[in-house]
Amino acid sequence: MNKNEALILLRAKGFKHTDKREDILELFEESGGYLSAKEIQTALKDAYPGISFDTIYRNLSLFKKLLILEETELDGEKVFQFHCTEHHHHHLICLRCGKTKTIEVCPMQDLSKLDPDFKVTGHKFEIYGYCKDCQEEIRRSHVKTERAGVH
């Protein structure tokens, strides 16, 4: 999914085009990873000084319902990214920057053999860690801290 596909889907389902909706979708297109409602509010505060969490969550809920966005939880907070539509896959998710990387392996292929009588109707598989860039930032931060004599 991308911003243009999302806007077409919204129109097709009878929802109004608003600047706020378009700007929220633009943020997801630019991010390449997961965003929280707080990050969205912070990014839009200059353009929409009075934008509330209620407005943001209402739009996020609509986008999730229409399969424009998918949701997960990181550190106890709901975060969202564009719904993946290409094919069945899973993600590596950076806990620092929220960027995701697609992994093509699906563990369900093997797990389904455990109980052939159990009908799986859906699943979610995510691996959390730190991307290469964030690992480097964390390492540099630790080096600066050590040089400063802070432990």
Beta strands in the chain (DSSP E): 35-36, 69-74, 77-82, 90-94, 100-103, 126-129
pLDDT at 151 over 60: no
SS (H, E, C) 15-35: CCCCHHHHHHHHHHHHHCECE
Q: What is the pLDDT of residue 150?
A: 59
CATH of 88-151, one of 3.30.1490.190, 3.40.640.10, 2.40.50.140, 1.10.8.420: 3.30.1490.190
Using pLDDT thresholds of 50, 70 and 90, give the confidence band for residue 111. Answer: low
Please check whether the two domains, 1-85 and 88-151, share a CATH topology: no
* CATH code at 1-85: 1.10.10.10
Domain ranges of the chain: 1-85, 88-151
Identify residue 127 by its one-letter amino acid code.
I
Least confident of 24-28, 66-70, 138-142: 138-142
8-47 pLDDT, tens digit each? 999 999 999 999 999 999 999 998 788 999 999 999 999 9
Provide mean pLDDT across the span 52-60.
96
User: Which of 30-34, 60-64, 95-99, 105-109 is predicted least confidently?
Assistant: 105-109
Top-confidence residue, 37 or 100? 37
* Whole-number Å distance between alpha carbons of 31 and 38: 14
Distance CA 35, CA 97 (A): 9
What confidence score (pLDDT) does residue 52 get?
Answer: 94
